[in-house]
Each structure stands twice: as structure tokens, then as C-alpha cells.
Amino acid sequence: MKKRHSFLILLAVIFLALSAVLYFIHYLIFHDLHHIFIFGLGDLAFLPLEVFLVVLVIERILANNEKQEKLQKLNMVVGAFFSELGNFLLAYLADGFDNREEISKAMNVSGKWTRDDFRTARAFIGGLKIKPNARKVDLAGLKTFLGGKREFLLELLANPGLLENDKFTDALWAVTHVDEELEARPSLTGLPETDMEHLSGDIARAYGHLAGEWLEYVEHLKGKYPYLFSLVVRTHPFQEKPSAIVR
């Protein structure tokens, strides 16, 4: 950092010296000090406006465009995640909740949903207090499924673009942790109640992150990609009979 500051100071001194030399050459040729002061003062007066336009306006526009491009690419990754395993987990893990019907009702996105509806659903998921019962979930089947998706999850976690979205990264870590917990147990039968309670907590954490990120993603599709949103509305796991067929 100090070297960078030293370089900037040196560069400033060089440019100031170069400017002084050029003004001096101008004076030697034309012998018009009055002209130099007029244009020098004019350039100096325009400098604050130039800084404002370049630094505050143009730079912010470029930075915002770059941010939007990154978010678009990130949402493509999020979409791939839910298509590959997220949607399945949302339906599969819901078996452990005693209030599964309540969750499905709150998350049953339709084409008529507004921003307020998405906000209400996120608040419901954020305030979800009921912990799932791991005994109601087919843990062996979950272990097999996640084991088959392990390489895909690791590739997503290695994606540098995910640094732009901490919440989605947290969701990936929560799902990966469930996979690691299940993989670490040679057998998933006859587990003590304390261990089942621990697994239930891991599942609850993963489900909360998944559901929240799914709502964010679907709301994004509604605003940017209506045709993709239409498919989600027809096939998402929170409705009674999901089907891609348009009726």
C-alpha cells in the first residue's frame, strides 16, 4: 500500500513538473503571461466539474453496469443450482416439517404474486420456528442424493462470482454441511435422539437458506425473465400437482 501511495505521489510530481515546463516553453515562445493566466485559471475552474463528471457520474454508471452484469451471471448460477438439486431438496426436506402444508401455502408462488407477496413469504420463512423431525426424512436417500451432487456443489463453491452473494454462499455451505454430516455416519439407523436432534437442526438451517434464496431468485425471474418465471410457477414443488404442461 505504501509503495502504491509513493508511486502516485511521484506521478503527481512528474505531471506537475511537466505542466510547469510546458507553460514555461509557451512563455518563451509567445511572451504572453496574461494569456497563460487566463487559460490556466479557466482550466482550473473547470477541474471540479470535470472531476464530478468523470469520478462521480461516469465511474458510478460504469460500476453499476458491471455490477448488474455480475448479478446476471450469478443468477444464472443460482438457477442452475435450483434446477440441479435445490428444487428437489425443497420438496424432499419438507417431509420433516409437521407444518408442511403451512409452508407450501406460504411459498406457493403464482403468476399474480406482487412484491408484497414475496416479502410476506420471506418474512414467514425467516420466522419459521418449527424444527423438522429428521426421523421423518429418508436420511439414507438424502445421503445418496447429496453424494451424487457433491462435485457439483464443490464447483459452485469454487466459483469466485459467488463472493458477490453472501446469502447464496451460506445456502451452499448449509447444504454441504448436511451432506458432510450424513457422509460421516457409517449407518443412519438406530441413531440416538440427541444425534437426530442435531441432524434436525442442520436440516432446518439448510431449508431456511434454500427457501429464502429460492424466493429471491423467483422474484428476480418475475421481473427480468417472464418466460422462465412462467415455467417456475408451473413446476415449483410448493403446489399440489406441479406440471410443465400449460393448461
pLDDT per position as a tens digit, 190-219: 999 999 999 999 999 999 999 999 999 999
Please identify which residue in the block is written with the cell numbers 451424487: 148
Does residue 113 carry a pLDDT above 90?
yes
pLDDT per position as a tens digit, 142-198: 999 999 999 999 898 888 777 667 889 999 999 999 999 999 999 999 999 999 999
**Which among 36, 9, 6 is positioned nearest to 21, based on CA atoms?**
36
Q: What's residue 246's pLDDT?
A: 86
Does residue 99 carry a pLDDT above 90?
no
Alpha-carbon distance of 229 to 112, in angstroms, equals 11
Q: Tell me, what amino acid is at 81?
A: F
**Do the beta carbons of residue 139 and residue 182 sit within 8 Å?**
yes
- Mean pLDDT of all residues in 100-121: 93
Q: Tell me, what amino acid is at 175?
A: V
**Do the beta carbons of residue 156 and residue 77 sit within 8 Å?**
yes
Mean pLDDT of all residues belonging to the chain:
85
Does residue 2 carry a pLDDT above 70?
no
- C-alpha cell at position 156: 459452485
- C-alpha cell at position 36: 497563460
pTM: 0.73
**Do the beta carbons of residue 169 and residue 154 sit within 8 Å?**
no
- C-alpha cell at position 25: 516553453
DSSP 8-state secondary structure symbol assigned to residue 238: T
- C-alpha cell at position 203: 436440516
